[in-house]
Structure 1
Amino acid sequence: MSRVTARRRVVRLDGTGDGAAARRGGEEHLAAEEPLELRIGGQPFTVTMRTPGDDFDLVAGHLVAEGVLGAPADVVRMKFCSADNGCSSTAYTDGEASLAFADGDPLNIVDVTLAPGVELPEERLRRSSYISSACGVCGKTSIDAVRATVRWPVEDDDVKVSAETLFALPDRMRAAQKVFAKTGGLHAAALFDAEGELLCLREDVGRHNAVDKVLGWALRADRLPLRGHVLAVSGRASFELVQKAVAGGIPVLAAVSAPSSLAVTLAADSGVTLVGFLRGRTANVYSGAERVIA
């Protein structure tokens, strides 16, 4: 059974007719949500709530956004672990993960072995110290922390994207969201080239996880930095998503909803073209408008 969705019984209420609301039973597909623990060299590093699937991409992308990884050679091995049965001896792919353990044994731990010379950032630079919208370390301190981990500045990326290409991205992204079509409960992140060709799409209950999965796919395919590309996201553009675009060397970030003020500040400071409210044939360009051809 797929771990990406789960079926649950529901009571449907229908008040569209005359009189009292009708009640009937049924089943719904829900987006799965489970914890994933990331370990580095056997030591706990972080835990995130995610939709299972593309877990190696998620882990790799998270470490790209942390400033830890920049190329496939930075990773010796990624392996699934079980809290009860230890770690597999083989670096299984996501598709082969079910073979690593007996049926029913959750694969919610990934252990990463880094290549010699690849080091973790200092505690003060870790993304966990400034990603929360409720944190007390915001504004200039947050932006300085992003600057300190940038591998591939995007200010000099002279890619041009037409408005017509931007207008087409949400529909192309939605058409590829297979799990969203079932559940209606997932965010999406999609990577496009400058002509609007879809290269990679990932879904997750968390916006940040979906973007991490795209970054991880790019790392594992040896495509970083993502110069000349456009990252589209299905929700709002937060500071964290702009930070991830910067970490991947992505010059254009387009969101179907609103950006936050700090997201706009970081985008302008980092040279990212930030597009928001991308709906139908309208959009707002908050920074880097010189890359958009009307």
Structure 2
Amino acid sequence: MARLNLSTPMAKVIRREDGSFTVNRRSDAITAEEPLEIRMGGQTITTTMRTPGHDLELAHGFLHSEGLIRSAADVENARYCAGATGPDGQNTYNLLDVQQQLFVKAPTLDNLRLTTTNSACGVCGSTSIETIMSKRHRPITPIKLSPELVLELPQRLRENQKQFKRTGGIHAAAVFESDGTHIVTREDIGRHNAADKVIGHLMLNDSLDTPGRILVMSSRASFELVQKAIMAGFSALIAVSAASSLAVEMAEEAGLTLIAFARDDRFNLYAGELDM
């Protein structure tokens, strides 16, 4: 059986630098982007553009963020569909079917988002804060972060971004304990996919219910990332770029500490408190 190809694609490139052009004869490392269709019980839930790798974590994290499963125990099995083949007849590994346990309610048209999501946008269908709040079942444990830790964590995220060092074109999510202990880092061309992968990792390792954890993102703090942090019960979300108005409103409503523009020697606190 063919194996999932996790190698970094290469492309020939002509680079302009310091006023002159050079040809990179060794080719340039670029970020892989392929579609992944996620089905639940044979029914399409979503198709997202993602970087191949850790697809089981991605599916678990996505289904949890959408309120369709609560734990790994809700899933009987998950497998790549054998019929999803490319021109060479090999499995593309771009179609993943998740079979829920019998006691898990099957998704309905009311809670499905039957759309194709790109690598920039992950929320389609969950259209209000009230809808998200009605689905959450993990309480948020309030924490007060020190300014020093807030500034340290984005740098530690960057140190774990192996693919970013090669390509310069991939997002990352990392989870830390409240004392700064690193738990997991995952990378993906889509920031929402990277978040789903770390959430799925925690779920598959039966540690999603540990309170007081921090989600750190290499991207902006958008509505869908705040949604995922709240659904997973994180205490804080730290982003290196901007926060949106709806993300701030939702974080305040849920009691999530939200910090953005956390880079160099500065950051903005939009929700929650600091340990000053």
TM-score by length of 1: 0.84
Q: Tell me how far apart the structure 1 counterparts of residues 154 and 29 of structure 2 sit (CA, whole Å).
A: 23
Q: Does 1:285 align with 2:273?
A: no
Mapping of residues 204-243 of structure 1, within 5 Å: 204-243=188-227
Change (3 A) 1:133 1:106: closer
The amino acid of 1:160's aligned partner reads: K
Cα deviation code 1:95-146 (max 9, x no counterpart)? xxxxxxx9943111111110111124553344679x99799989xx510110
* Root-mean-square deviation over aligned CA pairs: 2.5
Q: Which residue of 1 aligns with 2:137?
A: 151
Q: Does 1:6 align with 2:19?
A: no
The amino acid of 1:70's aligned partner reads: R
Q: Tell me how far apart the structure 2 counterparts of residues 128 and 237 of structure 1 sit (CA, whole Å).
A: 24
Q: How high is the sequence identity, in percent, across the aligned residues?
A: 40
Per-residue deviation at 1:84?
4.5
Q: Which residue of 2 aligns with 1:46?
A: 46
Q: Highest Rg: 1 or 2? A: 1
Q: What secondary structure, in the 3-state scheme, does the structure 1 residue paired with 2:30 have?
A: strand
Change (3 A) 1:176 1:8: same
Q: Which residue of 2 aligns with 1:22?
A: 21
Query: Which consecutive segments of 4 or more residues in structure 1 shift more than 2 A?
Result: 1-4, 21-26, 82-85, 102-105, 120-129, 131-138, 158-161
Cα deviation code 1:245-274 (max 9, x no counterpart)? 011011100000110000000000111110
Q: Which residue of 2 aligns with 1:187?
A: 171
Q: Tell me how far apart the structure 2 counterparts of residues 149 and 75 of structure 1 sit (CA, whole Å).
A: 18
Q: Is the 8 A contact 2:222 2:247 kept in 1?
A: yes
Q: Tell me how far apart the structure 1 counterparts of residues 166 and 261 of structure 2 sit (CA, whole Å).
A: 25
Q: Which residue of 2 aligns with 1:109?
A: 95
Q: Is the 8 A contact 1:30 1:183 kept in 2?
A: yes
Q: Is the 8 A contact 1:70 1:224 kept in 2?
A: no
Q: Which residue of 2 aligns with 1:81?
A: 81
The amino acid of 1:293's aligned partner reads: D
Change (3 A) 1:135 1:160: closer
TM-score by length of 2: 0.89
- Unpaired runs of at least 5, structure 2: none
> Out of 253, 260, 270, which is 1:276 matched to?
260
Q: How many residues align?
A: 267
- Unpaired runs of at least 5, structure 1: 86-101
Per mean C-alpha deviation after superposition, the further-off stretch among 144-153 and 238-247 is 144-153
Per-residue deviation at 1:39?
1.2
Change (3 A) 1:4 1:263: farther
The amino acid of 1:24's aligned partner reads: V
Q: What secondary structure, in the 3-state scheme, does the structure 2 residue paired with 1:67 have?
A: coil
Q: Which residue of 1 aligns with 2:105?
A: 119
